[in-house]
Amino acid sequence: MNGSAVWHPFTQHAVEPAPPAIARTDGAYLETRDGRHILDAISSWWVVTHGHRHPRIMEAIRNTTETLDQVIFAGLTHEPAEELASALVAMAPSGLDWVFYSDSGSTSVEVALKMALGYFRNIGAPRSRIVVMGQSYHGDTIGAMSVGARGVFNAAYEPLLFEVDTIPFPAAGREQATLDAFEALSRDGQTAALIVEPLVLGAGGMRMYRARVLAELRRIAERSGTLVIADEVMTGWGRTGTLFACEQAGISPDILCTSKGLTGGSLPLAATLATDAIFRAHYSTDRTRTFFHSSSYTANPIASAAALANVGIWKEEPVAERVAALSWMQSEKVARFSKDPRFENVRTKGTIAALDLRVGSAGYLAEVGPRLRAFFLERGLLVRPLGNVIYVLPPFCVTSDELDRLYETIDEAAALASDSR
């Protein structure tokens, strides 16, 4: 066990090698203690947007520590959180006027679900059904797991998960079945909320669907008074080509969850944005209608200042152009595999590219997954396939040459699949 006391996340310690220790991060790179440079092709689990240790974000963190650390956020407030909330309301899809802070993507989802149920209870028309999309992932806390796809990630905890109704993933050409299923679940007026990852299902295998489907789901929800929760934890902050993925469908959800890229990937912070109607349902002299949720580190001032610096970068640096350039490079470079029989489902959405290696057994536990990871790491590349799904989700500062090296290595890595058929 190497003398380490650390139990790592999503890690099978019995079969995985001791992890390299990272001593430094810079731009698109991680540097190990012994001086190896590793290209972070997955943005450290999708959080880093502009690159590691963006100077402006680091400076904001340093400066804030001169005056603030954690401050209880019930009954008190502070400038970084106030300014950030105003900025988020201005940047997010219209109609999202209130910002509730928490500290991780999963928590932002828990908050969203509680807001939805609280809304219907407080308006005196309780609803409890939650509708989810097949193959989704929304986090690892009990509520977030409950609204995610059932499978290997959560089989052991099944007895704790609450029931939801699932509409099928809208694969290309089969979108109508998804819309029909949602329509059917909307008829009895009992559906409180539909929760979706807009346009790209991340941990479910980087599955992508058309913006038009999201727009249609929104329309159906609106007709039946169902709330739409957009989980933009992964898709937000430019990942899919726009600041938020919902923009591409021209929709505003009732509730939007954001985390990961909110601080540019520097510190943990999350926000759940909600409409005025949802806030108003909780606004009352009757204190039983309070939104009863908090976590100790809610709206941490240093993390809020980091997020504000991120907002500043979006406003003052050509981030949209960088996102557009990276999106173009990704689609150009991954295209070499589109007719390659070793791969299938070659796809991109904004800065994300993904392709499925053809293997005998697919799925998250496909044997080829850990072997691919080791193969890439030996070559100085951090790539973490979801089973046989290889994806590239780099910080926006990655260069064309770095991507070329990465795709060249994906080409070489395909040979590993032949031993796994």
Helix H or strand E encompassing 88: helix 79-91
Q: How far is the CB of 257 from ligand PMP (least distance, A)?
A: 7
| Residue 245 binds to ligand PMP (criterion: CB under 6 A) | no
Show the tokens assigned to 344: 């299938």
Binding mask 155-194 for ligand PMP (x = CB under 6 A): ----------------------------------------
Angstrom distance (rounded) from CA 269 to CA 326: 25
Q: How far is the CB of 37 from ligand PMP (least distance, A)?
A: 25
Q: How far is the CB of 259 from ligand PMP (least distance, A)?
A: 5
| Residue 253 binds to ligand PMP (criterion: CB under 6 A) | no
Backbone angles phi, psi at 30, to 5 degrees: -115, 140
| CB-CB contact of 229 with 257 (8 Å) | yes
Helix H or strand E encompassing 75: none
| Residue 202 binds to ligand PMP (criterion: CB under 6 A) | yes
Q: How far is the CB of 292 from ligand PMP (least distance, A)?
A: 20
Span of 168-176, 187-195, 226-234, 384-392 interacting with ligand PMP by CB under 6 A? 226-234
Residues that contact ligand PMP, how many (by CB under 6 A): 14
| CB-CB contact of 41 with 381 (8 Å) | yes
| Residue 105 binds to ligand PMP (criterion: CB under 6 A) | yes
Task: Pick from 118, 139, 369, 385 the residue near ligand PMP by CB under 6 A.
Answer: 139
Nearer to ligand PMP, 32 or 141 (CB): 141
Span of 134-142, 272-280, 312-320, 413-421 interacting with ligand PMP by CB under 6 A? 134-142
Distance in Å from the first CA to the final CA of the chain:
32
Span of 36-44, 55-63, 99-107, 367-375 interacting with ligand PMP by CB under 6 A? 99-107
Angstrom distance (rounded) from CA 30 to CA 382: 9
| CB-CB contact of 42 with 26 (8 Å) | no
Angstrom distance (rounded) from CA 218 to CA 170: 14
- Mention every residue, 6+ apart, whose C-beta is less than 8 A from residue 271: 84, 85, 88, 99, 100, 101, 102, 108, 257, 258, 259, 262
| Residue 109 binds to ligand PMP (criterion: CB under 6 A) | yes
Rg of the Cα trace of the chain? 21
| CB-CB contact of 243 with 217 (8 Å) | no
| Residue 154 binds to ligand PMP (criterion: CB under 6 A) | no
Nearer to ligand PMP, 43 or 388 (CB): 43
Task: Pick from 40, 175, 197, 216 the residue near ligand PMP by CB under 6 A.
Answer: 197
- Burial of 258 (C-beta count, 10 Å sphere; 0-12/13-18/19+): buried
| Residue 259 binds to ligand PMP (criterion: CB under 6 A) | yes
Task: Pick from 234, 267, 278, 414 the residue near ligand PMP by CB under 6 A.
Answer: 234
Nearer to ligand PMP, 230 or 417 (CB): 230
**Residue positions counted in the chain:** 421
| Residue 110 binds to ligand PMP (criterion: CB under 6 A) | no
Q: How far is the CB of 137 from ligand PMP (least distance, A)?
A: 6
- Give me the residues paired with residue 93 across strands: none
Backbone angles phi, psi at 147, to 5 degrees: -90, 0
Task: Pick from 49, 104, 178, 242 the residue near ligand PMP by CB under 6 A.
Answer: 104
- Give me the residues paired with residue 275 across strands: 96
Q: How far is the CB of 398 from ligand PMP (least distance, A)?
A: 20
| Residue 203 binds to ligand PMP (criterion: CB under 6 A) | yes
Q: Residue 326 in 3-state DSSP?
A: helix
Q: What is the DSSP string of 121-168?
A: HHTT----EEEEETT----SSHHHHHTSPPSTTTGGGGGGPPP-EEEP
| Residue 221 binds to ligand PMP (criterion: CB under 6 A) | no
Span of 28-36, 100-108, 318-326, 370-378 interacting with ligand PMP by CB under 6 A? 100-108
Angstrom distance (rounded) from CA 321 to CA 292: 41
Q: Which residue is nearest to ligand PMP (CB)?
A: 105
What residue ranges bind ligand PMP (CB under 6 A)?
Answer: 104-106, 109, 137-139, 197, 202-203, 231, 233-234, 259
